[in-house]
Every structure is written in structure tokens, then in C-alpha cells.
Chains A and B, each alone.
Chain A
Amino acid sequence: MNTSWQNNRAARDARIAAGAGLARGKVVEASDATRMLEAVIRPGDRVCLEGDNQKQADLLSRALLAVDLAKVNDLHMVQSGVVLPEHLDLFERGVAKRLDYAYSGPQSARIARMLFGGKIELGAVHTYLELFARYFIDLTPQVALIAAVSADREGNLYTGPNTEDTPTVVEATAFKDGIVIAQVNEIVETVPRVDIPADRVHFIVKSDKPFFVEPLFTRDPAAITEGQILTAMLAIKGIYAPYGVQRLNHGIGFSTAAIELLLPTFGERLGLKGRIATHFALNPHPALIPAIESGWVRQIHSFGSEVGMDDYIRARSDVYFTGPDGSLRSNRAFCQTAGLYACDMFIGSTLQIDLQGNSSTVTTSRIAGFGGAPNMGADARGRRHPSEPWLKAGAESDPDSPAALRRGRKLVVQIGETFGDKNVPLFVEKLDAIELAEKLNLELAPIMIYGDDVTHIVTEEGVANLLLCRTAQEREQAIRGVAGYTDVGRRRDHGMVAHLRERGVIRRPEDLGINPLDADRSMLAARSIKDLVRWSGGLYAPPSKFRNW
């Protein structure tokens, strides 16, 4: 019989007491960070080392990597992003053993090698929302190592525009007897705004240099091809316009950047301003600046921020969510939820699409994880509010049910060129993800977006509307019918594809009144990063790697 119901609270207090010896108040010197982690972390602990999409607790990563293995070992890392080399070094060294995560962009090749080599015991690869959900059920961290811009002496934290995962991580940790340790760029008298209240923060480490942030959402308009422009025109005229899509999320590829840059030009000529693309769940994409400046966009909620966009966002608070201090307040969990429940469309690119429409960004040598795309690119079965695009898509997929009982459908659009980098085909008979699942003995193949959620595929060859397909065979031929000169495309049944085109399941550029020869770079509202700076009235400050003037 358990005689105490507060063991975890007592354990937390003991950890705080152990760490307090190294702190003045809550403040710990950077040089003492490793000793402090040795004092508060126990072997086998679940630890969230804040690796977001953008903001990285890099000092705490290095400090954790340096611990005495006799004191700290076999940790179970539960973090959304495995992004820094140190995140994986922890497993090489034996500091950590088990991993549950969501995204591993820059480390995707190394994480694949380590998984094959048995260096990491993998729990699962999640979507962001899914991992956050598990923080509150069965993956609650005992220790959270987070990053913020500044703290005051009491421990109130200002995260800056990249609030991202921090409130979620802190909520799960601090309210379940866990320890929260923050690295901050500076300690100030008063923080610009309180993103995390002091009573949820146990220790603060002042970093010697600002935490690492990478520009992930900046696409140079100079690199957009005519093929991407054509594909973007097809999407605007073939999907955005007929469904009247106002609330949406864009992926981060060049095709969607092309769409953003065509709104004030091509979209304007089609008379679509105010009728499409008004409300976004989206990071502050610089490519959207011309559309914002032209009055297209009413509101944007963001997962995180983007390097160089701070002053622009501050000056456009009618569009973005900002705090009392004027800077962006992002929030990954809320924005993911917004994308899932309050957006009528997700449009993004992928690396491979199979004959059922399943897509994946996994190749046999790279495991990039899921991030948020599966939440954006999935029909929310719990949705109950109607909207024009949602109802229209539902009616197309299920014309025979009575309207009052018919579910709507989210538009889930895969956009891309039939051949990607190095002439690698977008369309395949079998996904590499399936091979990988066999090799690693995974129960589930890592599918980014399941075929039954995909409603449209857009390539330079045309738009395939999968909602209108009635059989698996029709679906396969609709996909082959926009697969261009890939092997999958060339093996189409020409008769069936012609029939699908007559029914409007497949629509070619000429069916939409688009001449591929009009797909010219002069159509882009901005053709360079410098053009974006000009559109922003000098408020956008691109990072140096994007400056070529």
C-alpha cells in the first residue's frame, strides 16, 4: 500500500535542492551548467532537450553531452527536433539511449545510420502534435532544457518571436513535478513580455552567445523555375479559385513560394483578391510579403518565426499575432491545431508519391521525420464547422449521401514537378519508406501523407482531382495521368486517362485556359530577395547568406 501520494513532488524538491547549491537564486553560471545537470538529472530520466524547428538550446546540449556517465546515463530523449549534431552525439556517448521525436531535417542521414547501427533505441517518429500530446499522457519529461531570449532574476522568460514549442514543453514538465532549466541570451531587469511565468522555471543559465537559429522558410525567388510557375498557376486557377480557399497552410517548397509570388500578379488578373488566401497558418514566409503588401492577406498565425522578419512583423501587427512588446508570438502546438481544424487546405510538396497517392519524404538513407505536415495534410475527423471549400470537397467525394449527414473534406494537395533534383522521379511504384520499414522492422512505414487523405495532385502536366475517382483503378490512372514522363506516367492507360480528362478528373493547362508558354519569371511579384526587401519598405532584413548585393 502506497503511504505517500506526493513522491514525485518530493523527488522534484530534492532535485531542486541538489541544483540550488550551484545557483545564486535561480541563476547558474554557464561554466557550472554540466555540474548542475549532473545534480538534477537521474539515470534513465525522460528529458526534453528543446530542439525546435528554429530555436535550439545549444548551450544546454553541449553541457549535457559533457556529463559524467557515472552520474547521468541511459536518458530517454523526448524532443520534437533532432537538429544539432550534439543531439545525436548524446547517443554515441551513451548519455542517452532511447529516442522519441518528430523531425530530424539536417541530421536525417546520420540518424538513419545510427538507427541501422543500433545506436539509438527508437520509440517512434511522431508528428509535432502527436509528440506534444504524448507529453501529457505517457512521455511526460522529468527534465526540460529550454531556450529563451531573456530572463529576469525571478525567472520570468521572454522567448522572443520563436516561442515555438516552449509553452507546451514547460506546461507538461512543470505541472507534473518536473524540472525546467532555461538557457537565456541575457538576464535583464524586466523582460519585454512574459512568455513563461517564473514559477514554472527552476534554473536559468546565461549563455555566452545567442542560441542558434536557422532561416528555414526563406526561398530565394531567383531560384524559382518556369516549371514551378506553371504548376503554381495550375494550382491557383484549378484549385484555389473553384473551391474559394481562404483559410490554408502552405508547405515550404519552391512551388508554394511561387504561388505566394503569383497572388498579386496572376491572382489579381483572375479577380481573386479577397476571395482566396486570406487567412493562413504559416511561418512568416518572406515570399508572402508582396501579397501582404498588396492587401491580400488578413491574418497569419505562426508556428515559429523566421530570421530577418522581426521588424516587418512588428510593423504589420494587423496581420501577425504579436505581444504587448510588439514582437511576434508564435506557438507551434496552437498553430498545428489551427492548421488541422481551422484550415480548409494544405498544399505542399513531397519527395515520393506512389500509385495510391501515399507520399513520403523518407529515402532509404535519410529519415527526416514528419514535423507538422501530417497534421496539416490530414482530414480532421473531429471537425464540425462548415465552410464552402470543405462542403464542396465533401460533396465531390460522396455525392450520394444526404447533404446534412455528409462530412466535408479538407483539401490536401500535393504539388510538385514530375522530376525533382537530379532528375529523380516524384512518382514511384513503391515508396522507399516501405523498404526502410522492412529493413528496420518498423510496424508502420513512415508515410508523410496517406493516400486516402490526398484530394489533389498538381504537376506541370495538370491537376488530378482524386475526390472524383470512384475506384482504385481510376485513382491510379488519375495519378499516372499527371505523372509526366516518369516511368509511372509513361505506363498510363491512354484511353482511361482521356476518359478521366473528359470527366474533369484530370485537367490539363489548356483545359484551364493556361498557356504553358505564359509561365514566365516576369509573372513573379518579386524575382529576387532584394525585390522582397523593396516590397517590405526595407523592413525585411534577410540573413547574409541570402544577400548577393
Chain B
Amino acid sequence: MEDLRFQHRVRARAGGTRQSAIVGVVASGNLEVLVERVLPDAECALDIKTAAIGFGEVWTAVIGDFVERYSPGGLRFSINDGGARPDTVSLRLAQAVRSIAENGQ
């Protein structure tokens, strides 16, 4: 296992009013993302527990592109990764933002 942590300053707050959401599953080649609206509007953080060791550089690139594209202000992501491919990670993160952007609890 490897633990990684990323913190970014972002342009804007993530849309919607939901406080938390969960997408994906913990499985080989997949990942589970818990997203919570717990941070100041201009910040986001991602905590990653991954089964694949030595992919820090790829995670940095994936997270950088994600933050740039979705501006997930106010969100903290907790990720349980079963060695998913980078494109699966990008997709789950985008799904997490879409999920929490819905209105309601």
C-alpha cells in the first residue's frame, strides 16, 4: 500500500448542495471515491490509499488535470484504489463531482 496526499487551490466552489457522495467500488482495477463538502471554497484535498506502488508521478498528472478541469472547491476526496488505470481514476473523480453536485442530502 502507498498513501498519497494532494492539496490544490482552486478557482471556484463545486456546484450543488449535497454534503457527501460515494462512487465506485474497491476491487482490483477499480477504486472507491468518498467525496465530502468539508473544506473552504477555494481549497480541495485528495487522500489516496493505493495498492499500486510507484505511480506518484501519474497520480500527480491525473489529479492536476482533474482539478484544472472541474475546479472542485470545498471538496475532500478519500480514495481507496485497487490499482485502477488512470483513465478509470479520472472517470470516478468526475462521477464523484457530478454526484455531489446534485441537490439534496
Residues of A within 8 A of B (CB): 225-227, 230, 417-419, 423, 460-461, 484-485, 490, 516-517, 519
Given the interface contacts A423-B52, A490-B61, does A227 sit within 8 Å of B85 by beta carbon? yes
Residues of chain A contacted by B22 (CB below 8 angstroms): none
Residues of chain A contacted by B26 (CB below 8 angstroms): none
A90 to chain B: closest CB distance in Å? 39
The bracket for how many chain B residues form the interface is 10 to 19
Residues of chain B contacted by A226 (CB below 8 angstroms): 88, 91
**Residue B95 CB within 8 A of the other chain:** yes
Given the interface contacts A485-B58, A517-B95, A517-B98, does A460 sit within 8 Å of B87 by beta carbon? yes
Residues of B within 8 A of A (CB): 52, 55, 57-58, 61-62, 83, 85-88, 90-91, 94-95, 98
Residues of chain B contacted by A419 (CB below 8 angstroms): 85-87
Assembly CA distance A227 to B94 (angstroms)? 13
Assembly CA distance A484 to B87 (angstroms)? 8
Assembly CA distance A417 to B87 (angstroms)? 8
Q: Which of B52, B62, B83, B86 has the most CB of A within 10 A?
A: B86
* Selected A-B contacts with CB under 8 Å, 16 pairs: A225-B88, A226-B88, A227-B88, A227-B91, A230-B91, A417-B85, A418-B86, A419-B85, A423-B52, A423-B55, A460-B87, A461-B87, A484-B86, A485-B61, A516-B90, A516-B91
Q: Which of B52, B57, B91 has the most CB of A within 10 A?
A: B91
Assembly CA distance A417 to B55 (angstroms)? 18
Assembly CA distance A16 to B85 (angstroms)? 60
* B-side interface mostly: helix
Residues of chain A contacted by B55 (CB below 8 angstroms): 423
Residues of chain A contacted by B85 (CB below 8 angstroms): 227, 417-419, 423
Across chains A and B, which 10 residue pairs bring their CB atoms closest together, nearest first? A485-B86, A419-B85, A460-B87, A485-B58, A227-B87, A485-B61, A490-B61, A517-B98, A517-B94, A485-B62
List 4 extra interface pairs beyond A418-B85, A490-B61, CB under 8 A: A418-B86, A485-B86, A490-B57, A516-B91
Assembly CA distance A460 to B84 (angstroms)? 15
A405 to chain B: closest CB distance in Å? 43
A494 to chain B: closest CB distance in Å? 11
A491 to chain B: closest CB distance in Å? 11
Residues of chain A contacted by B61 (CB below 8 angstroms): 485, 490
Residues of chain A contacted by B58 (CB below 8 angstroms): 485, 490
Assembly CA distance A513 to B91 (angstroms)? 17
Given the interface contacts A485-B58, A485-B61, A485-B62, does A516 sit within 8 Å of B86 by beta carbon? no
B48 to chain A: closest CB distance in Å? 15
Interface contact B52-A516, CB-CB below 8 Å: no
A460 to chain B: closest CB distance in Å? 5
Residues of chain B contacted by A490 (CB below 8 angstroms): 57-58, 61
